[in-house]
Amino acid sequence: MTKHSSLYTLAALVWLAGAVSLLSKGLIILVQAEDIEGGLLWPWIAFATGVLIGAIKARLFLFKSCQKNLDRIASLSNPRWWQFYRIRFFIFLAVVITLAVLISRLLGKNYTGLCIIGAVDLSVGMGLFLSSYAFLRAHRKFGIFKNKTSR
């Protein structure tokens, strides 16, 4: 039988992996834009916009989503290892990744497109990163990542 703490850990790892992946991808894309048109401010504006929008997303949507998933995991009476997210999350993730790859290939070396996609990737990555505080808060409050053994 899978323990709740294992599901919490898997959920946190997937959430943070998405954050790190998107943050690094967004930064790489903005560096590519800077290489195309060096000296312009648009990559810096895209960076600042992405970080700001990401913070707003974290506060308004993603933190609540993360907390709802933690509550859902806690309510599972017989947890299974694949239940750290709902199936619709994995479907959504597959669709979003596919669309991101297609859009990146379509844009190629388009300066404006790179700035926009870089800002979008940074905003989602920053939102995921900041909202991952829900995992840390739950851990501090309940010790959710520790496998509890009976004494």
pLDDT grade for 84, boundaries at 50, 70 and 90: very high
pLDDT at 40 over 80: yes
- pLDDT for res 107: 80
**pLDDT at residue number 83:** 93
Please name the residues in contact with 49: beta carbons below 8 A apart, sequence gap of 6 or more.
Answer: 119, 123
Provide, rounded to the nearest whole percent, the portion of the chain with pLDDT above 70.
93
Residue 73 · residue 11 · CB < 8 Å? yes
Question: Rounded to whole angstroms, how far apart are CA atoms 55 and 142?
Answer: 25
Mean pLDDT of 12-35: 94
Tell me what pLDDT residue 117 has: 93
Overall average pLDDT of the 5-32 stretch: 93
Which residue is associated with the tokens 């990559």? Answer: 43
The whole-number pLDDT of residue 90 equals 93
Mean pLDDT of all residues belonging to the chain: 89
* Distance separating the N- and C-terminal Cα atoms of the chain: 19
pTM of the model: 0.86
How many C-alpha atoms does 30 have within 13 Å on its Cβ side? Answer: 25
> How distant, in Å, are the alpha carbons of 8, 30, 66, 121, 147 from that of 117?
31, 9, 24, 6, 40
User: What is the structure's pLDDT at 144?
Assistant: 62
